Amino acid sequence: MNTKSYKVEPQKKVNLKDFSTTYDGDLTKEEVYETLLPKNLRKMAEYQEKFYAENQRGLLIVLQAMDAAGKDGIIKHVFTALNPQGTQVTSFKQPSSEELDHDYLWRIAKALPARGNIGIFNRSHYEDVLVTRVHNLLPLQQIPQSLVSDDIWEQRFKEISSFEKYLGNNGIKVVKFFLHVSKDEQKERLLERIDREDKNWKFSSSDISEREYWDEYQKAYEDLLENTSTKEAPWYVIPADKKWFGRYLISEIVLEIMEELDPQFPELPKGEKEQLSKWREILLGDEKDEEEKEKSKG
Ligand code: ATP
Ligand code: MG
């Protein structure tokens, strides 16, 4: 699949209206769920095993979206392929008072994946240039007011890009997905949360009040996509109205990145490798000893 058309080119002007929220190509839901997605998930698991064994690089996957766009579904249906030993999912909610007592990247840094691991962020440091911006939350936070300059958002874009570059330089690859859902589709999904008892638990009245800020959010997303999609840490805009397509596309992109990283099983140190046949004989000798013991007992 050509994933390039979903990638945001660095410093290129972004108008979200130019990105479709839906998919109208030839793939069908059936072939994706029955064949294509399961195949990708198996491949992802194989790569992950090497990635874990290699223990050199980390992979950070950032999921951002408007409410009900399907972040949880991506985690449940795509990242389910990954071995829990070596994967951490972190959901970022409203910052606690302890978190607000620190710089905004503090809680992010604490949740970064270790080498060999894959970290999945359900929301992320990007909330600090989204909800914080749309709702003008900075005056309510602990940051000194004298530091809240007019160009604070541009400043944060630079900080975030440097931070992600720093991670890349340290072997932690960052890739970011914006699930792009239409306002109508969001309405359908919120209605479903209201109408279906098994989905009620997902409903929050704030989903409705946040919807009123739709345009402000879209604008804030456009600005951050334009300013923080880099070669090292690209953004992808994922059409999210058809859940099955978004899930498949993300699996394709993650696979591509894993392929590029090309993790390898580590080689045993030379000395150890030379001794392998000796250890094998000792183990097999063990078995013979046991057999002889059994015989002499009988
Ligand atoms: P769903 O899409 O299923 O509703 P969710 O990710 O919205 O899941 P919630 O618990 O509903 O999960 O919401 C988390 C809330 O925390 C969001 O409204 C988000 O904007 C808010 N949040 C996250 N980070 C920050 C931050 N740095 N500052 C302020 N609010 C934040
Ligand atoms: Mg929510």
Q: What is the pLDDT of residues 197-218, one digit of tens each?
A: 999 999 999 999 999 999 999 9
pLDDT of the residue at 61 = 98
Contacts of 100 (CB under 8 A, 6+ apart): 141, 142
Ligand closest to 90 (CA) is 1
Residues 236, 175: Cα–Cα separation, whole Å: 8
Q: What's the 163 CA to ligand 1 centre distance in angstroms?
A: 22
Quote the pLDDT of residue 291.
77
Ligand closest to Cα of 213 equals 1
Average pLDDT value for residue range 283-293:
79
Q: Please give the mean pLDDT across all residues of the chain.
A: 96
Neighbours of ion ligand 2 (CB under 5 A): 67
Residue minimizing CA distance to atom 23 of ligand 1: 93
CA–CA distance from 25 to each of 22, 28, 29, 216, 245 (Å)? 10, 8, 11, 30, 10
Ligand 1 interacting residues, C-beta cut-off 6 A: 67-68, 71-72, 92-95, 122-123, 127-128, 131-132, 137, 202, 204
Please compute the mean of the pLDDT values over residues 22-27 and round it to a whole number: 96
The pLDDT score that the predictor gives to residue 263 is 97
* 3 close to 253: Cβ distance less than 8 angstroms: yes
Six token digits for residue 245: 């397509």
Distance 35 CA to ligand 1 centre (A): 34
Ligand 2 center to residue 115 CA distance, Å? 31
What pLDDT score does 209 carry? 94
Give the pLDDT band of residue 20 (cuts 50, 70, 90): very high
Given a cut of 90, is residue 14 above it in pLDDT? yes
State the distance from the centre of ligand 2 to the C-alpha of 208, rounded, in angstroms.
10
Burial of residue 96 (CB within 10 Å: 0-12, 13-18, 19+) is: exposed
pLDDT above 90: percentage of residues in the chain: 92
pLDDT in the model for residue 172: 98
Taking CA atoms only, the protein residue closest to ligand 1 atom 3 is 68
pLDDT mean over 18-24: 96
Instruction: State the Cα–Cα distance between residues 267 and 168, nearest whole angstrom.
Output: 24
Q: What pLDDT, on a 0 to 100 scale, did the predictor assign at position 298?
A: 65
Closest ligand 1 atom to residue 125 Cα is 27
CA–centroid distance, 296 to ligand 2, in Å, is 70
The tokens of 84 are what? 């829990």
Confidence of residue 8 (pLDDT cuts 50, 70, 90): very high
Asked if pLDDT for residue 68 goes beyond 80, the answer is yes
pLDDT band of 293, cuts 50, 70, 90: confident
pLDDT at 41 over 90: yes
Give CA–CA dist 42/259, Å, rounded: 14
Q: What are residue 22's phi and psi, to 5 degrees?
A: -125, 180
* CA-nearest residue, atom 25 of ligand 1: 94
Mean pLDDT of 259-271: 94
In contact, 174 and 233? CB cutoff 8 Å: yes
Q: Which residue has the tokens 């058809």?
A: 242
pLDDT in tens, 126-185: 999 999 999 999 998 999 999 999 999 999 999 999 999 999 999 999 999 999 999 999
Element (H, E) at 211: helix 205-211
244 pLDDT tier (thresholds 50, 70, 90): very high
